Each structure stands twice: as structure tokens, then as C-alpha cells.
């Protein structure tokens, strides 16, 4: 049976990329990247493959909708068109509306700066979830996605592990406790490890083979990122 640190090393080598990184977000504690992560969490909260959500986010950012002001100023049709270029077509119209309304809420309540939301919640995950779920399209799942990814730049909420990642960790013989799992992660790598665990939960690896030291199976892009409201095929929860 593979040792926990060996499993962690394999996970990071194969799947150690956050969803923010995949979407082209250089995540730092500044208004623009924090808002872009909110957009990504909104897109990943819908019943689509996570790869499609990431592609749609990249298209929105390529269209320069990287700030709440730019998103609010874009026409509804422009947002729909950008989502369509990312093949986010089934929910494009509803999501375009949610993104516009969410941008306005970000501007009105937080002056376009989600660091204010962080301060208002005193860095408490429960309070942060409450504030995040006020945004259209962000439910408990979307809030969990946001917190999984943002913990690297909001260290007061780390270590953060949601149920999906914790379940994958236990399946691999790793600790399901955030603090214990964090001890196995190299410095600064916990968000990437958590993202890797989410990908395992979506079928990127055979957990039993990886745990047994058989190496699992490398992921294809489609297998690594899938999202749905149902637990077996979602990047959420």
C-alpha cells in the first residue's frame, strides 16, 4: 500500500492545478482576481462539465469581462455570446443574467472589492458562505468551490476542505481532516492538493489502485473535470 506522502506527491504531479489556474486566473488578494474566481464558481455551479465551465470563464475574461464593472457594462447578448464561445450553451441565457446581476451586487454591496466581503466575515468560513450565497447562481456548492480555491490567498480560512475533497481523501487512505491533510501538503500546495482530490472524485484516477500503490490511471482532460448537481459526477459539494 502506498504511503500517504507518496500518494500526495502523485496527486500533485498529475492533477496539482487549481481550477482558477486552469481558467487563467492569477489568483492573488486583489479585487480583479477575486471577482474572476467568483465568476468561475458561478459557472461551475451549473449542471455542466467543469471543463466547459472553465472554457466559458476563459472566454469571458478574453472578452475583458474581468471586473464587476466590465461585466455589468457588457450587454446581456455579449455575455451570452462569450458563454457560447466556451460551449456553455444550455444555461447561457440564465447564466448571462446571473452574471450581470451578480456584478451589480458586487459593485453595490462591496464596491467591487471582495476583500471587503472577507473582512466583513472576519475570515470565518460560515460567514463567508453566507455572504457568497447572496450572489445569484452561488449556492452552498458554489461557495465551497470559492473557498477551496481562495484559501491560498486568504490563509485565515485555511485549511479548508469540503465534503467532496474530504471523501476522496478518505478513499485514498489520506486524512479527511483539513488540519491533518494540510500537514501532508508541501508549503503553499494545499489548494492544488484539494483540487487534485476533487478531480479524483470525478474519475481522474482509480482511487483503489492509487491507494494500493499501483499508480492509478492518468486522467484525460474530460475525466479530470466534470460537474453536475448529482454527487457521482460533480466538481461540487
Task: Write out the three cell numbers for 176.
Answer: 479527511
* DSSP one-letter string for 115-176: HHHHHHTTT-HHHHHHHHTTSTT--HHHHHHHHHHHTTT-GGG-S---HHHHHHHHHTT---
Give yes or no: residues 137 and 196 share one domain: no
- For residues 201 and 155, the answer to whether their CB atoms sit within 8 Å is no
Question: 29 and 65 share a domain?
Answer: yes
Together in a domain, 127 and 224: no
Are 139 and 81 members of one domain?
yes
What is the longest distance spanned by two Cα atoms in the chain?
55
Q: Are residues 33 and 140 in the same domain?
A: yes
- 217, pLDDT greater than 60: no
Are residues 88 and 35 both part of a single domain? yes
Shared-domain flag, residues 88 and 112: yes
Q: For the chain, what is the radius of gyration of the CA atoms?
A: 17
pTM: 0.88
Residues 28-76 pLDDT 10s: 999 999 999 999 999 999 888 889 999 999 999 999 999 999 999 999 9
Last residue of a domain, one of 109, 139, 157: 157
**In this structure, are 31 and 147 located in the same domain?**
yes
| The total number of structural domains that make up the chain | 2
Quick one: angle between helices 163-171 and 190-201, nearest 10? 80
> CA 122 → CA 108, 143, 216, distances in Å?
20, 16, 40
Range of the domain at 52: 22-157
Do residues 29 and 121 share a domain?
yes
Query: 71-125: per-residue pLDDT in tens?
Result: 999 999 999 999 999 999 889 999 999 999 999 999 999 999 999 999 999 989 9
* Domain end among 99, 127, 157: 157
What is the overall mean pLDDT for the chain? 90
Amino acid at each position: 500500500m502506498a504511503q500517504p506522502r507518496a500518494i500526495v506527491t502523485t496527486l500533485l504531479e498529475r492533477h496539482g492545478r487549481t481550477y482558477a489556474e486552469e481558467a487563467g486566473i492569477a489568483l492573488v488578494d486583489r479585487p480583479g482576481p477575486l471577482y474572476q474566481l467568483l465568476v468561475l464558481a458561478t459557472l461551475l455551479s451549473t449542471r455542466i462539465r467543469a471543463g466547459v465551465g472553465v472554457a466559458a470563464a476563459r472566454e469571458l475574461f478574453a472578452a475583458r469581462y474581468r471586473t464587476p464593472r466590465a461585466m455589468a457594462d457588457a450587454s446581456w447578448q455579449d455575455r451570452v455570446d462569450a458563454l457560447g464561445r466556451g460551449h456553455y450553451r444550455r444555461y447561457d441565457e440564465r447564466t448571462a443574467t446571473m452574471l450581470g446581476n451578480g456584478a451589480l451586487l458586487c459593485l453595490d454591496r462591496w464596491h467591487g472589492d471582495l476583500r471587503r466581503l472577507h473582512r466583513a466575515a472576519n475570515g470565518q468560513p460560515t460567514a463567508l458562505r453566507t455572504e457568497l450565497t447572496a450572489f445569484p447562481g452561488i449556492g452552498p456548492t458554489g461557495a465551497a468551490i470559492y473557498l477551496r480555491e481562495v484559501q491560498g490567498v486568504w490563509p485565515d480560512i485555511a485549511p479548508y476542505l469540503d465534503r467532496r475533497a474530504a471523501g476522496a481523501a478518505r478513499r485514498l487512505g489520506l486524512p479527511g481532516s483539513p488540519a491533518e491533510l494540510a500537514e501532508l501538503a508541501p508549503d503553499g500546495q494545499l489548494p492544488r492538493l484539494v483540487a487534485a482530490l476533487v478531480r479524483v472524485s470525478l474519475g481522474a484516477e482509480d482511487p483503489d489502485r492509487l491507494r494500493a500503490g499501483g499508480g492509478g490511471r492518468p486522467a484525460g482532460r474530460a475525466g479530470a473535470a466534470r460537474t453536475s448537481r448529482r454527487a457521482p459526477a460533480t466538481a461540487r459539494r
